[in-house]
Amino acid sequence: MQSGSDRLMAEINVTPFVDVMLVLLIIFMVTAPMMIQGVDVNLPETAASALPSEDEPLVITITKDQQVYINDYSVTFDVLQAKLVKILENRSSRVVYFRADKDVSWGMGVRVMAEIRGAGIENLGIVTEPIERDKKKKAES
């Protein structure tokens, strides 16, 4: 007769499987935070509203008769760059808007834009008027 202890065991031993899974879980738990890119910063919280911008936009204008203006003040072409550098020393915003009469020569416009860029301005916006057909469509609506 055979005793009950001599029979083959058909059960799966899960202990090594559980050990491997726990080791993998620990590895993923340790490495997952390192995969996140960026810097975690806790910013201060406040209930105050945003401050209004104190800087009025800086607009360079060329009139039909080749006069150059910084906002409403007339300047000569020779001192435009120096004045812009001086104005921008005290401004937080380094954005300048450029507008010119449609009859101003392309060469004059390019020269003034070069002076603006020479003053260290990287954000230069060009102010234009809408096309006439767009005005007519709006008037008919």
pLDDT tens sequence across 88-113: 888 777 888 888 887 788 888 889 88
Which CATH class for the 58-133 domain? alpha beta
Task: Give residue-wise pLDDT tens across range 26-70.
Answer: 998 888 777 655 333 333 344 444 434 455 778 888 887 888 888
**Which residues neighbour 98 within 8 Å (Cβ) at sequence distance 6 or greater?**
59, 60, 109, 112, 113, 116, 124, 125, 126, 127
